Structure 1
Amino acid sequence: MKTYALGLGLASLVAATASADITGAYVYSYSVTAADFDGADVTVNVQDLYLSSNDAADTALNVFNYNAGANAATSYFQSFTGTGWQPTNLGGPFDAPALRLADSFVTIGGFAQDTLLPEQAPGSGAGTGLDPNFGGNGAAAPGPNAGWYNGSPPSLNGQVGAVPEPSGDLIGLGVLVGRFASVEDFSIVCSTFEVTWNQGLGTPGQQAGILYCPAPGALALFGLAAFGRHRRRA
Structure 2
Amino acid sequence: MSLRMITFSYLFKIQTQTIRRFSSTKNVSMTFTGNSNQDLGTEEERMSRVFGGRLKGQAPMPSSRMTVQDSRDIAGVSVPYQPSPPDNCCMSGCVNCVWEMYKDDITFWQDRRHLAIENIGKTNEKWPVDWNPPLKLLDIKNVPNELKQKKLDMLSNEKITTTTTTNILFPKRDTPLPSSVLEAKRKNFLKRQKLLEMKKRQTIEEEDGWNDIPIYIKAFADFEKRKIRKTWYRYF
Bin for the TM-score computed over the shorter chain: under 0.3
More strand by share: 1
Report the TM-score when normalising by structure 1.
Answer: 0.23
More helix by share: 2
Structure having greater relative contact order (Cα 8 Å, sep ≥ 6): 1
Q: Which has the larger radius of gyration?
A: 2
The TM-score normalised by the length of structure 2 is 0.23
